[in-house]
């Protein structure tokens, strides 16, 4: 994969850098879905999905992370937590987790990350997905996207 050219993607209360050749889509449930160009038939296309959800004032990112992990352990075959921790050095502190699981429908070992932030009673969830065997190729791109993500707080 050649080194991508980057463009700024501006959402209503966030911004981030994305590869210029990635597709951008949105639905009522998904604020932004950023997907790499097609690679061939039956191949998992790496992506980053951003969702925004209103939350109560007492909801914490730690609780969100724990609930997400519990659900994934129950629903994802061969779920294995690789790493988790805090995202610091930003206006809004977050939590992240990296994990793998086996997609039985596609017969692909999947690497995903989730990063959670809460700002102004809005939960921001960024989920990255790639085939585990493409980790070395794709994770630097997904990581740059995640690191460029900025919430515009008032």
- pLDDT digits over 138-152, tens only? 999 999 999 999 998
Residue 1 counted as domain residue: no
Per-residue model confidence as pLDDT tens digits over 31-65: 999 999 998 777 899 999 999 999 999 999 999 99
Residue 45 counted as domain residue: no
Which pair of tokens denotes residue 101? 């699981």
- At 116 the pLDDT is 98
- At 1 the pLDDT is 53
Q: How many domains does the chain have?
A: 1
Residue where the block lists tokens 């980790």: 135
CA atoms within 13 A on the CB side of 144: 13
For position 16, which CATH number holds? 3.40.1000.10
Structural domain boundaries enclosing 126: 6-38+50-151
Whole-structure pTM value: 0.94
Residue 86 counted as domain residue: yes
């Amino acid at each position: 994969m050649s080194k991508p050219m980057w463009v700024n993607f501006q959402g209503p209360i966030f911004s981030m850098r994305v590869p210029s050749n990635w597709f951008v889509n949105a639905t009522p449930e998904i604020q932004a879905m950023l997907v790499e160009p097609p690679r061939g038939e039956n191949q998992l296309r790496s992506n980053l999905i951003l969702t925004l959800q209103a939350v109560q004032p007492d909801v914490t990112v730690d609780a969100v992370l724990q609930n997400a992990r519990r659900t994934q352990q129950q629903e994802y075959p061969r779920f294995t937590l690789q790493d988790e921790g805090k995202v610091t050095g930003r206006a809004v502190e977050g939590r992240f987790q990296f994990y793998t699981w086996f997609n039985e429908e596609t017969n692909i070992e999947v690497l995903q990350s989730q990063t959670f932030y809460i700002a102004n009673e809005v939960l921001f969830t960024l989920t990255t997905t790639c085939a585990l065997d493409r980790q070395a190729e794709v994770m630097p791109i997904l990581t740059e996207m995640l690191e460029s993500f900025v919430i515009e707080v008032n």
